A and B are shown apart, each in its own frame.
Chain A
Amino acid sequence: MAVAAVHSGGIADHIHPEPEGFLRKYVFSIDHKIIGIQYLVTAGIFMILAGALAELIRVQLMKANGGFMTPDTYNAVFTMHGSTMVWFVIIPLLTGAFGNLVMPVQIGARDVAFPWLNMIAYWIFPVAGLMLYSSFLMGAPVAGWTEYPPMSLQGAAGTSMWCAAVFLVGIGSTMTGMNFLVTILKMRAPGMTFTRMPLFVWGQFVTAPLLMIATTALGAALAALFIQREFGVPFFDPTKGGSPLLWQHMFWFYSHPAVYIMILPAFGIISEVFPTFARKPIFGYKMIAFSSCAIAILGFMVWAHHMFTSGMAPTLQLPFMVITMLIAIPTGVKIFSWTTTLFGGVLEFSTAMLYSIGFLLLFTIGGVTGVFLAAVPFDLHAHGTYFIVAHFHYVIAGGSLMGALAGLYFWYSKMTGRLMNETMGKWSFWLYMIGMNGTFLPMHWLGLWGMPRRYAVYDPQFQTWNQIESWFSFVMTASILLTMFNAIWSLKHGKKSGHNPFRARTLEWQIPSPMPYYNFKHIPSVFAPPYDFAEPLPYRGLEEELTDSPPPIPAAH
């Protein structure tokens, strides 16, 4: 058996030769695993920037009557914080980083369908980020990450730069979506039917069309805004026949699906973590998979619930409200499936597991306030207040980001061959829980009391709670910095992990850590879903992966 792998001649055997030289290997790599790490590091750098902006916001809000920033600077700061977090941190982390790192291995492939496209999609991302931050030099955008006209039409020149940067990063996302979709449709190992795919692959599979379709729609909106600003074509200018509402339609048609782009892969991550650390089969595998599809489809029909206060016929409000509330059903199915997976399991509270449990708690709170906000009468009251800020930070900081952190602690050893430090990990988790809740929980009642969002100054009666939030936000920042330090420290000092430290059952754990450039010596066959912990592994053809047998030879062309 110990001979070099035999080629069946198909695409599955299309192996890149081992990359040589620093540039090929680490900079312009076409290996999906290196690209995943590149996304991870770049998104981490943008997260430091966005986090610094967030702390500027919190320091400003410690004083009711204006802190150290002028209102215009303050506007620019929260605009850039939101834009960076959405397009340059969360989406690249969940799709570009973990999707690239893990998804092709989990389906038993040697790379994504279009490795060159993957490399180009990555390199668009830091360039777009530089463009985004260069807008500070020409007058940063001030109208929030949503850039509603007419304010975005009056903003400084940087607003056009913002359009171009987000447009560009959107092109990268579209490419990633196309690439992932073709990869999952066409490159699964023999025997890996749709209902045998790991749930993380399901998450990416459902996210990919959203990335493709919704991001292009955003591209159209951004192009229209850019054209209006630079060429005076009045799409959104009501004095010349345009309509500011048109922007809201075009923007939210993307940006509502975008929130599912930011959460469905995180659902996938914790669906991998829960069964592994509860030592139990995932409960309701098919229900978790299909409810993701339901969420993705419904997600395209609810964009106008962001516009209840923008002037809208009541006959339209009702269907948007009802469909929005319907999304709570597939989401609830997931929450119950995860809870049932944990129930009666022998839980091992590793850091990845803690973050996943944190996800379950905090995302549920964010989801419930989402149902509140779907109700038109409540939304009319809470719209534009800190209640909204609380809601989406619970979903994104408590959901998406916690999912990404769980993924980092879970899959770190597949990148580096070492585990992240658990003591630091647990400290980071508890600091995150305390900081996150301390920062965003009071925003719920501040919002209900009527404190408007996006103001540089506010009513002094809210000052105490704002100061409490600001102090807790420092705790949250400390947690993120601790995780980042942990990731760097563990490169050298982490415990050697071996190939499968958590005794997990998906394919990426059956090959060495760090994963070799060819992924598999032999493409395995799959004959069951990966979550049945009582059974032997459902794969054939993996005998040589951990032996010293020679790597496969690239097919000649």
Chain B
Amino acid sequence: MAVASVTQAGIVGRHHEEPDQLYVETRELRVQGFLLFMVSDLVLFSSFIFAYLYLRNTGQGWPPPGAPKLDLALAALNSVILFGSGATMHFALENWKHRNFMKFANWIIATIVLGAMFLSGQIVEYAKLAVGWGSSGIFGAGFFTLTGMHGFHVFCGIIYLTVLLLQAVQGKYTFNKYTGLTLGTLYWHFVDVIWVVLFSIFYLY
């Protein structure tokens, strides 16, 4: 089985190798450490979400004067793109687990492209709103800060996944040792989940 998939991938170095105990235990540490990183990142988002909801609900009524109208259709399309990228990332990792390198590479490239499309969509939305971060009052304090933070996470994620892809091409991961890919997938899903919350509080609430 393993030999066949290496041939299919056409790249040497991803041979079938049983992970030793050191690798298994290090993987546990890395996954746990990464989960904790995501917890503290979640706290960062939660704090700003709290700030936004606090300002929204204790001020002089909502929307505040001068706040632009958000484009629900564009945002919904953008959301579909981002959730789609979550699915493609899932397929990428599943294909790696099934030792299919080419399909893995295709799906992760699809994820990167979808991520870039999401970012472009967000830039279009910012341009259409035509108000500045500092000049749009507490609307901008919530909307631009949070979506900007999220966009920055997507941007980092695109770079992260590109690096993972290049490392995989170079043979850094084997079909039995791929903790880095697991962590990248976790990160991408995390960014997806954050968007569910942001979409709900800005466009649906």
Where the two chains meet, the residues of A that have a C-beta atom closer than 8 Å to any C-beta of B are 8-11, 13-14, 113-114, 117, 174, 178-179, 181-182, 185-187, 212-213, 215-217, 219-221, 224, 227, 231-235, 240-243, 245-246, 249-250, 253, 555
Contacts and interface: CB of A to CB of B under 8 A. Distances in A.
B40 A233 contact: no
A216 B47 contact: yes
23 contacts: A8-B21, A9-B21, A14-B22, A114-B33, A178-B37, A185-B32, A186-B28, A186-B29, A216-B43, A219-B44, A220-B47, A224-B141, A224-B145, A233-B140, A233-B141, A233-B145, A240-B138, A241-B64, A243-B54, A243-B59, A246-B54, A250-B51, A253-B47
Contacts of A9: 20-22
Contacts of B39: 212-213
B44 A212 contact: no
Given A217-B43, A219-B44, A242 B141 contact: yes
Contact of A220 (B20, B48, B55): B48
B137 A241 contact: yes
Contacts of A14: 22, 26
Interface of B: 20-22, 25-26, 28-29, 32-33, 36-37, 39-41, 43-44, 46-48, 50-51, 54-55, 58-60, 64, 133-135, 137-138, 140-141, 144-145
B29 A233 contact: no
* The 4 A-B residue pairs with the shortest CB-CB distance in the complex, in nearest-first order: A220-B47, A232-B134, A11-B25, A216-B43
A216 B44 CA distance: 6
Main secondary structure of the interface of A (DSSP, over half): helix
A20 B21 CA distance: 28
Contacts of B141: 224, 233-235, 242
B33 A235 contact: no
- Most interface-central of B26, B32, B51 (chain A CB within 10 A): B51
Contact of A213 (B25, B43, B55): B43
B36 A178 contact: yes
A212 B140 CA distance: 28
A260 B144 CA distance: 34
Contacts of B135: 232
A300 B50 CA distance: 15
Given A113-B29, A220-B47, A246-B55, A231 B133 contact: yes
Main secondary structure of the interface of B (DSSP, over half): helix
Nearest to A230: B134
B50 A250 contact: yes
Given A216-B40, A233-B133, A234-B137, A224 B29 contact: no
A243 B55 contact: yes
Contacts of B50: 249-250
A181 B25 contact: no
B33 to A, nearest CB: 5
Contacts of B46: 217
Nearest to A112: B29
A186 B21 contact: no
A231 B134 contact: yes
A220 B59 contact: no
A249 B55 CA distance: 12
Nearest to A219: B44
Given A8-B21, A216-B41, 6 more contacts: A117-B33, A212-B43, A241-B55, A241-B137, A242-B141, A555-B22
Nearest to B49: A220
Contact of B138 (A182, A187, A234, A250): A234
Nearest to A220: B47
B36 A10 contact: no
A174 B41 CA distance: 10
Given A219-B44, A235-B55, A246-B55, A240 B28 contact: no
A299 B54 CA distance: 21
B148 to A, nearest CB: 10
A339 to B, nearest CB: 36
Contacts of A231: 133-134
